[in-house]
Structure 1
């Protein structure tokens, strides 16, 4: 009996030294979601495994989580040139990503490019608007750099890094559903949307459908009132900070370099701490269903599998010594 239980556990979660795979529980949807963790600030190394467990065990997707690793095999958010086991991208049906300033080698970059060019849906969180930077001049991927006319973020997602619109680590974000698009399937069953990260300045293109706008709050909890003051946009236009509110979640369909189309969901929310809020989590899960062309549940189960107590964001303070193995089911 003991050996049988161990065999079942091994079959339920396949794990390799440099990545983690969550096999679907219950009825499999036959889709493979690849989640990319790689940022120095917003704890993607905690957020992506949580989403992978949730999507596999609650909703029947196979999920593979890839990380930025140091030379010793531990998770290192500052290792901008690293993406573990990029081969997983070869069979990706969807990509969920929280990246910042990555600059992978050519082989890894080509696998990401090939997945996008196949037309896979892209669900992009927070700093993914400026996912890439540091490709040298002359690299075939230098056009991805965020400071190259907005790079990959502006071209594919519809925006790049512009500015902190709310005051960083002082003013949190309350998501306000765009009334004209309240019936969009991604918003199905979504009520409270909150994140303790600040609103980013963003101006997605005309082909984007804005789903949620970010109300800048005076404090860091959802019960604090809206902020009220004026500031200048990147275009030097002064406006009230919440009039109009900045878009924080939108969708678009983009034709890629291969001529196929990608369904794109982008939110400038989505740090690990933002995903502690049920409504914010449900929006991301719903976006995955939408991207894959599947019926979005009336109220998707977004209960985390196991404990989820994300570390506060910041350029310092990430958990040290973590390995992909620490995120297998049951740990």
Structure 2
């Protein structure tokens, strides 16, 4: 009986080998989702002239891979952060679960914009830092000029720099006192974020018309040593854009902000929230992010 059973199993194995010319381990792997596919995929898109996003965000990406079980890719402007017309690799957005933008005044070609457009229209989540409120800067008459309002239609931020929205800041010599908005204190994105902290970023003005209707402000900023009459303005909020995508934007993003533990937690928490994952219960520890600030005459 044992010999008959062994013979039957050998014959069955032979038939399987003919039908599936793969190893048994490969058959098992093909029958279940791979570990790679289970990991959320976060794509960072950088190119901001000024705030060294191409250096700060890779540290965040590495932390996500090391301690939070995610896959990441960081895209950078070519040939360097001042290159306004080329960000190679944007096709990665086709597979992304979250797109994170740190851009300033780009003029990308239409074929690259198409990847961003398709991503937005998929309803997947987006995250933005600081100058992403004015990510694009196409000249008058350019058929891509509506992309100058990227901050508005993707994040509920003012539609580009200056203009009727009065989107401006309070001087390069100013800094910002940041506090949690009381009504948002229990928001999971603010887990572990100090009730107040000081940021190097000069405060951006987004009020009175922004953030857009339906936004949930999380943090308020007060300008310290402003160069003009200043009002307090939200510096971080969530929103849902017209395609149903969850959006998180912060107008902070100076390299020194990334050294602040509360800001680091805010970013890691927001990434989890965007992906629909529980915010981490335990903090893995402060990140070493020591990146220089770039060009002082930029916005």
Q: 1:274 aligns with which of 257, 269, 272?
A: 257
Does residue 1:285 correspond to 2:289, yes or no? Answer: no
Seen in structure 2, the aligned counterparts of structure 1 residues 30 and 136 have a Cα distance that, compared at 3 Å, is farther
* Bigger share in helix: 2
Q: Determine the C-alpha separation between the residues in 1 that align with 2:233 and 2:54.
A: 27
Normalised by the length of structure 1, the TM-score is: 0.71
Unaligned runs of 5+ in 2: 1-34
State the partner residue of 1:246. 233
Seen in structure 2, the aligned counterparts of structure 1 residues 97 and 193 have a Cα distance that, compared at 3 Å, is farther
State the partner residue of 1:39. 48
Larger RCO (CA within 8 A; separation ≥ 6): 1
State the partner residue of 2:155. 157
1:110-189 aligned within 5 A: 110-134=114-138, 137-139=141-143, 141-145=144-148, 151-160=149-158, 161=161, 162-168=166-172, 170-189=173-192
Deviant stretches of 4+, over 4 Å: 26-29
Q: Determine the C-alpha separation between the residues in 2 that align with 1:123 and 1:112.
A: 13
Q: Determine the C-alpha separation between the residues in 1 that align with 2:239 and 2:289.
A: 31
| The structure with more radius of gyration | 2
Q: Determine the C-alpha separation between the residues in 1 that align with 2:285 and 2:129.
A: 17
Q: Determine the C-alpha separation between the residues in 2 that align with 1:30 and 1:295.
A: 14
Q: Aligned Cα RMSD in Å?
A: 2.3
Q: Determine the C-alpha separation between the residues in 1 that align with 2:66 and 2:38.
A: 11
CA deviation after TM superposition for structure 1 residue 271, in Å? 2.5
CA deviation after TM superposition for structure 1 residue 84, in Å? 1.8
CA contact (8 A) 2:254 2:293 kept: no
Normalised by the length of structure 2, the TM-score is: 0.79
CA contact (8 A) 1:285 1:302 kept: no
State the partner residue of 1:66. 75
CA deviation string 1:233-267 (max 9, x = no partner): xxxxxxxx35xx211101011122xxxx1100011
Q: Determine the C-alpha separation between the residues in 2 that align with 1:130 and 1:230.
A: 21
